[in-house]
Amino acid sequence: MSETVTYTYSPWHFVEFRRESGHMHIWVSLFSSSSDFRRVPLIFDTGAYITVLTRMSARRIGLSMTGLYSANLTGFNRVRGSDKAEIVIAPKIEIGRFIVEDVQILVPLDDIEVAEVIGENVFECFSYTVDHDLDRVYFAKNPNPKPYKNTDSGTDLSCGRVLAQDN
């Protein structure tokens, strides 16, 4: 007699995080083209309005450093350097089984030290919940994300499409 097993589809998929210096770090793949990417740990920061990388990391990943527009680092935790930055585009970011296209990333103009974070401009594409006991963040695609704007400048920081890969 064979046993029938039924699987239930869940839109929720988890990404494990590690705790370091009081922050939750999740590993993401940042793409500079359709196939070139680097895996990097970013701070899961629901208070950051935009994803941030150091200039050195952006270069190492291979992101085009011709920014869409200039920005200021006002309010960002930095060690030294100017307040000037630019917004660059990562063609896609992979978070677990999700791919987010056309992600705007804030990159300082100088080689200054800033916290590298994944911000609200990406999180607005998802519903998410944190399981602190298992060190996991569960993500589900948000079917109706609101366009995400920087409240100071009114700049649209929304990402492109969100795709789910089959595992």
3-state secondary structure of 61: helix
What are the residue ranges spanned by the domains of the chain? Answer: 13-164
pLDDT over 70, % of the chain: 70
From 105, 99, 132, 98, select the one nearest 120 (Cα to Cα). Answer: 105
For the segment 8-29, what is each residue's pLDDT rounded down to a tens digit?
A: 567 888 999 999 989 999 999 9
- Tokens representing 2 are 């064979």
For the segment 47-105, what is each residue's pLDDT rounded down to a tens digit?
A: 888 899 998 999 899 888 776 666 665 555 544 455 778 888 888 999 988 888 888 89
From 90, 117, 114, 113, select the one nearest 101 (Cα to Cα). Answer: 90
Q: Which CATH number fits domain 13-164: 3.30.565.10, 2.20.25.90, 3.90.1150.10, 2.40.70.10?
A: 2.40.70.10
- The answer, yes or no, to whether residue 148 has pLDDT greater than 80, is no
From 22, 69, 31, select the one nearest 50 (Cα to Cα). Answer: 69
- Tokens representing 26 are 């999740």
pLDDT band of residue 36 (cuts 50, 70, 90) is confident
What is the residue type of 152? Answer: D
From 61, 56, 16, select the one nearest 38 (Cα to Cα). Answer: 61
Distance CA 92, CA 141 (A): 15
Backbone angles phi, psi at 125, to 5 degrees: -80, -5
| Highest mean pLDDT of the ranges 8-22, 117-131, 150-164 | 117-131
Residue 66's contacts (CB-CB under 8 Å, 6 or more residues apart) are: 88
pLDDT of the residue at 138: 93
